[in-house]
Structure 1
Amino acid sequence: MQRTHSPTLRRRRLSAELKRARSNSRMTTTQVVKQLRWAAGKLSKIENAETQTVKAEDLEALMDLYNITDGAQRDALHALAKDAKVRGWWSKYREVFGPQSLPDFEAEASTIRTFESSVIPGLLQTPEYTSALLQGGRFTEPEAISRRVDARVERRQILTRFSPVRLRVVLDEAALRRPMGSSETMAEQMHHLLYMAKLPNIDVQVLPFSAGSHAALVASFSIMEFPEPLDLPIVFIETATGGLFLEDTEEVEQHSVTFSDAQGSALSTTQSAKFIADVLKPLESE
């Protein structure tokens, strides 16, 4: 699977570039809107990445106004605007992921740090485990479950593609102990977890019950970081209705500190592999 462009990230990057260009030109949003004779909220939507499409003529007008004369820079901004309209593979699973989807950010993430308190993280799940997990939720129709399993299988390809994402996982012991489906399903999941943890781009640390109280006694969350400096980190928190994305710098920093603290309370990767192997043993004898 090739690295896929994220239209959402392209919109965020284009917005950041245009906002910086306006700042460099020492113009206020009011001045820009007045000079271009735009509706009051048009520029705000562009600068906050709230519009999916920035028309070529609108982009040209902004670049002219901001005195962006370098041809390469103008071409790069047009390329960003064009890529922001391209749909990723996840668009075919729109009913699964919703309008603002997690794979939209995962596609270009360089590093993902995940704390999971209850279940194996989606990127490390086997299809059988995912299916058993979903059967306990609202989507119990076989077709609906199958679609969600297929979508999750496609998501995890970012771990094994060329130039894969770096995944750092802190996993509460409860996620290993909670049975999903049969013993065979759980045994296969533990084998898969151990296999994936051996990959050079993946670290898995277990946070055992014996650690007692720790900093991450909160909802599960993921922090995604990106290779481009303009693409600021973002936090994803899964909810009953889909998910919540946090982009505020202070909130992202707080979750980053929480993750680091959880890592400090967790077992090392070597100790964690042994811990998972010990969980696996009784499953294989059942």
Structure 2
Amino acid sequence: MARSALMSPSKLSKIENAKLAPSATDVERILTAIGVSNEVKAEYTEAARASATEATAWRLLKRIGVHKGQQAAKALEAQMSTLRLFQPALVPGLLQTPEYIRAVLKRHNLSEDALTRTINGRLERQAVLYDSTKSLQFVITEPVLRWRTVPPQMLAAQLDRIASISRLPHVDVRVVPLAIQQHDIANHAFVIRDDHMVTIETVHAEVVVTDPRDVGLYVDKFNGFAAVALAGDRMRSLLEDIRNDFLREQETG
């Protein structure tokens, strides 16, 4: 049962003995594993979603192992069919180069072993980019591409990777340019999976929202930014301009 539900036996035991409240995702996985009808699954999952807003502090994730967060994300991404990700702060993890990943994770003061395991976990997650059965949509703001997370030459390589991934037929990468007036605020990063779960990254925690009314707010926000963002060749042209700026800077030292 635990294996079919993609959770540890200890976690399943705690849920069964009312020592741990299951998330909406937990409920859906358990009901799928035991083979209940779609009608029953929809009823119980909806009840769980209606009351579910979960927050997991980053300090807790660090204590149990940041790499395990990558494993959990990988499991979710394996089950989903559609992902929509908005990122106004960093290059999305699924698009990051190894050097960029290392620079981002080093701020967590992880041991070298934990850092290596987490980097490897994130790189393993990127296999989902090549699964043509999924629809992957990314909206990034232009300042993300200019933020000096790594040296100029590494940033140029990062932009090359984004451009390359954007050519996959089932992947849509868009960039909200600085040159146009905006009518919304890029508050924080969030990920929408299959339009029924949103994961939000805040300073202190990762928050998961499953109430359909709240999920709808994030879908609308994503669609609003996607509508004004550059896509396709226009997006790649912007990437090339920024990349060339970094390379010229590198050459002039």
The two structures have a TM-score, normalised by structure 1, of 0.65
Counterpart for residue 234 of structure 2: 271
Tell me how far 1:268 sits from its aligned partner.
Answer: 2.8
Asked whether 1:245 is paired with 2:208, we answer yes
* Aligned residues of 2:200 and 2:207 also touching (Cα < 8 A): yes
Written as runs of structure 1 = structure 2, the 5 A alignment for 1:131-150 is 131-135=102-106, 137-150=107-120
The two structures have a TM-score, normalised by structure 2, of 0.72
Counterpart for residue 105 of structure 1: 76
* Aligned residues of 2:93 and 2:122 also touching (Cα < 8 A): yes
Give deviations 1:179-237, integer Å, cap 9, x for gaps. Answer: 12222211110111110001111111110122333335221111111xxxxxx621111
Equivalents in 2 of 1:100, 1:224: separation in Å?
A: 16
Counterpart for residue 173 of structure 2: 204
- Identity over aligned residues, as a percent? 26
Tell me how far 1:142 sits from its aligned partner.
Answer: 2.6
Counterpart for residue 146 of structure 2: 177
Assess, with a 3 A threshold, how the Cα gap between structure 1 residues 5 and 282 changes in structure 2: closer, same or farther.
farther
* Aligned residues of 1:183 and 1:284 also touching (Cα < 8 A): yes
Gaps in structure 1 of 5+ consecutive residues: 25-43, 50-93, 226-231
Equivalents in 2 of 1:284, 1:237: separation in Å?
A: 33
Equivalents in 2 of 1:99, 1:272: separation in Å?
A: 29
Asked whether 1:282 is paired with 2:252, we answer no
Written as runs of structure 1 = structure 2, the 5 A alignment for 1:45-194 is 48=48, 95-96=65-66, 97-98=68-69, 101-135=72-106, 137-161=107-131, 163-194=132-163
Equivalents in 1 of 2:129, 2:5: separation in Å?
A: 16
Counterpart for residue 63 of structure 1: none
* Aligned residues of 2:198 and 2:208 also touching (Cα < 8 A): yes
Asked whether 1:233 is paired with 2:196, we answer yes
**Among 160, 164, 184, which residue is 1:195 paired with?**
164
2:127 is aligned with what amino acid? Q
Assess, with a 3 A threshold, how the Cα gap between structure 1 residues 22 and 119 changes in structure 2: closer, same or farther.
closer
Assess, with a 3 A threshold, how the Cα gap between structure 1 residues 274 and 233 changes in structure 2: closer, same or farther.
same
Gaps in structure 2 of 5+ consecutive residues: 8-24, 50-63
Structure 1 SS opposite 2:230: coil
* Aligned residues of 1:111 and 1:167 also touching (Cα < 8 A): yes
Counterpart for residue 85 of structure 1: none
2:182 is aligned with what amino acid? S
Give deviations 1:28-58, integer Å, cap 9, x for gaps. Answer: xxxxxxxxxxxxxxxx99x749xxxxxxxxx
Tell me how far 1:18 sits from its aligned partner.
Answer: 6.6
Equivalents in 1 of 2:70, 2:153: separation in Å?
A: 35
* Aligned residues of 2:89 and 2:188 also touching (Cα < 8 A): no
2:230 is aligned with what amino acid? L
* Aligned residues of 2:88 and 2:143 also touching (Cα < 8 A): yes
Tell me how far 1:239 sits from its aligned partner.
Answer: 3.0
Q: How many residues align?
A: 212
* Aligned residues of 1:235 and 1:246 also touching (Cα < 8 A): yes
